Structure 1
Amino acid sequence: MKIREGEIMMRRKVLMLLSVIVLISAVSAQALAKEITVRGRLGRTVEGGGWIIQTDSEKYLVLNFQRFQNESWFHVGQAVEATGEPRPDAITTQMEGTPFEVRTMRPFDEGASGAQVTNGLRPRLTRVIVSGDSTIQAQPDTAIVNVAVVTQSKRALDAQQENANKSDAVVRALKTAAGAGAEVKTSGYNLQPQYVYNQNQPPTITGYQASNSVTVTLNDLSKVGAVIDAAAQAGANNVQSIAFILRNDRQAKQQALTEATREAVSKAQAVAQALGGRVTRIIEVQEGGAVIRPIYENTDAIRTMAAGAQARPTPIEVGSLDITSQVQLIAEVETPQ
């Protein structure tokens, strides 16, 4: 009877042991089912104190990097193969990458994340700063003409009234010559005394000068000469300035910026090749901005031509504008030790 009771107890222990084994196997299988294997390069997190594995398409934040950081191969840029469980619900101080609890990690000597380990040597990462410049040409689409009526008289009132009459005639002539799409506006007015200076005597007022400046902005560049002639014939006696600009400059600026960026990237690649390495990424780009230099005509020559406007039209030749752009970038270059 005692022997039979002993057999029963033994069978119960065996059954319990088998149940435990089955349970452990099920739990292990479930845990392994959640595991993934990734290949990429080790790198530091933007916020200090963390490590990531950068793959071709994703970053994984290594939660337990302390387990591997004493390994000789554990360093920035090392290609690794890691197996573990993603922990997207984990709370971390680093806000970069998917939290990843790594079970095993080993160096990986084949291409990972587009990188390669050469002869088993640790790659060295260097930052280079380069700049790119470009200059393109574009045709202006707008002309800005600034003319003035200057009158003088012994009395301030007479100078002002004469100027008002002439300026009114000039404005009407400009609107007619420039056309409906042009903008004509007063850009400045000045009335001041004229002085004569004698030695050891206070200045003496000899008369007054009035000046009224009018600015014309027009899109039809072929009318610029006619506008100057009309102003001169109506009473304008000072061509202060004429400039050609590009109002719709977005496309030209983008083209200049694109070419400047390409030149900067080409320089970074040339530096990397000279060092026996390659550009791994662009860290930072700073735009210097695009500058468009307006074309200014020689107003002295224009005044001379306008004075004889009744004899022949004032010729105006429009050139090309220079649009310049500059870009500075910081590139990360990987070179062998």
Structure 2
Amino acid sequence: MKRIITTLILLTVISMGFAQEKPLVTVNGEHTIKVEPDEAEVNFAIVTEHKDLQEAKKNNDALVSKAISFLKKESVPSNDIRTTRVNVNPYKEYVKDKDPIPMFRAQQSINVKITDLDRLTELVSGLVDLGVNNIQNIEFKTSNLEELQNEARAKAVLDAKKKATILAESVGQSIGAVHAIHDNTVSDIGSPRPMMMAYKSEAADSGQAPIATGEIEVTARVNASFLLK
């Protein structure tokens, strides 16, 4: 009886081993879609300095209030304007041949979404005119991100299948059913082309340099395994 049980166990182990040793080809697939952005997120900061802490904060609050009022007046929705950081820090201002002067620096960082890119230059210039002294970043985005990522995913799988076919044919085989697919797509979109200041005739007349939006990249990446036959 023990010999029969032992034989059955060995047969099971052997059959499992064969099942796990099915030949596979594993590849990475990728596809990128380039698209013109239709919205932008502008991150800016307002920094004020004063010997008195309360004055530094008061002056900062006043400038922030003006900036937010300006954006709302220009039809930017309130829910598209968000304070991301508030800081008040002491520091020392060093002047040659004099004792360091104790000072305070107040800073508020704000993120605003602009959905009308034709007005982007105008709005950024308006903020600077009001006293916004630090435009930290302008990130271009697309409102169709999910739809574009799904399209890119499907084409990334086709790219993986094409690569797997080439590899299989190089050893005299072909690919069979898909064994596994892993989606390695990240939610972030590709960085836009470097932001440049491009002059146009109407911009030159107004003294403003329009911001070139360029294109953004939506990329999907997959890892896929195919059975060989």
Structures share a fold, TM > 0.5? yes
Work out whether 1:270 is the aligned partner of 2:166: yes
Partner of 2:228: 333
**1:321 maps to which of 216, 221, 224:** 216
Partner of 1:185: 82
Give the Cα–Cα distance (whole angstroms) in 2 for the partners of residues 222 and 331 of structure 1: 47
Q: Tell me how far 1:225 sits from its aligned partner.
A: 0.8
Pick closer, same or farther for the CA change 1:251–1:325 going to 2, 3 Å. Answer: same
Q: Contact (CA 8 Å) 2:44, 2:137: kept in 1 or not? A: yes
Q: Contact (CA 8 Å) 1:132, 1:327: kept in 2 or not? A: yes
Give the Cα–Cα distance (whole angstroms) in 1 for the partners of residues 213 and 75 of structure 2: 17
Aligned pairs (5 A) from 1:254-265 = 254-265=150-161
CA deviation digits over 1:156-182, x for unaligned, max 9?
122122222222111111222353487
Give the Cα–Cα distance (whole angstroms) in 2 for the partners of residues 292 and 153 of structure 1: 40
Q: Runs of 5+ in structure 1 lacking a partner? A: 1-47, 52-74, 77-123, 302-308
Give the Cα–Cα distance (whole angstroms) in 1 for the partners of residues 117 and 138 of structure 2: 11
Partner of 1:240: 136
Aligned pairs (5 A) from 1:30-49 = none
More moved, 160-169 vs 286-295:
286-295
CA deviation digits over 1:39-71, x for unaligned, max 9?
xxxxxxxxx68x9xxxxxxxxxxxxxxxxxxxx
More strand per residue: 1
Letter in 1 for 2:82: K
Give the Cα–Cα distance (whole angstroms) in 2 for the partners of residues 197 and 177 of structure 1: 41
Letter in 1 for 2:221: Q
Work out whether 1:163 is the aligned partner of 2:60: yes
Q: Tell me how far 1:321 sits from its aligned partner.
A: 1.0
Q: Contact (CA 8 Å) 1:140, 1:246: kept in 2 or not? A: yes
Q: Runs of 5+ in structure 2 lacking a partner? A: 1-11, 198-203
**2:111 maps to which of 191, 195, 215:** 215
Q: Tell me how far 1:272 sits from its aligned partner.
A: 2.6
Give the Cα–Cα distance (whole angstroms) in 2 for the partners of residues 178 and 295 of structure 1: 26
Give the Cα–Cα distance (whole angstroms) in 2 for the partners of residues 134 and 260 of structure 1: 5
Partner of 1:287: 183
Pick closer, same or farther for the CA change 1:192–1:312 going to 2, 3 Å. Answer: same
CA deviation digits over 1:114-162, x for unaligned, max 9?
xxxxxxxxxx963211221222212222211122221111211221222
Give the Cα–Cα distance (whole angstroms) in 2 for the partners of residues 185 and 141 of structure 1: 20
Partner of 1:127: 24
Q: Contact (CA 8 Å) 2:64, 2:108: kept in 1 or not? A: yes
- Specify the SS of the correspondent of 1:273: helix
**2:34 maps to which of 109, 121, 137:** 137
Letter in 2 for 1:268: A
Pick closer, same or farther for the CA change 1:194–1:177 going to 2, 3 Å. Answer: same
Greater radius of gyration (CA): 1
Q: Tell me how far 1:257 sits from its aligned partner.
A: 1.0
Which protein has greater RCO, CA pairs closer than 8 Å, 6+ apart? 2
- Specify the SS of the correspondent of 2:107: strand
Hey, which bits of structure 1, 4+ residues long, moved more than 3 A? 178-182, 296-299
Q: Contact (CA 8 Å) 2:195, 2:212: kept in 1 or not? A: no
- Specify the SS of the correspondent of 1:232: helix
Give the Cα–Cα distance (whole angstroms) in 2 for the partners of residues 170 and 126 of structure 1: 63
- Specify the SS of the correspondent of 2:37: coil
More helix per residue: 2
CA RMSD of aligned residues (A): 3.2
- Specify the SS of the correspondent of 2:189: strand
CA deviation digits over 1:226-285, x for unaligned, max 9?
111111122212111111122431221112111111111112222232222322221111
Give the Cα–Cα distance (whole angstroms) in 2 for the partners of residues 230 and 328 of structure 1: 47
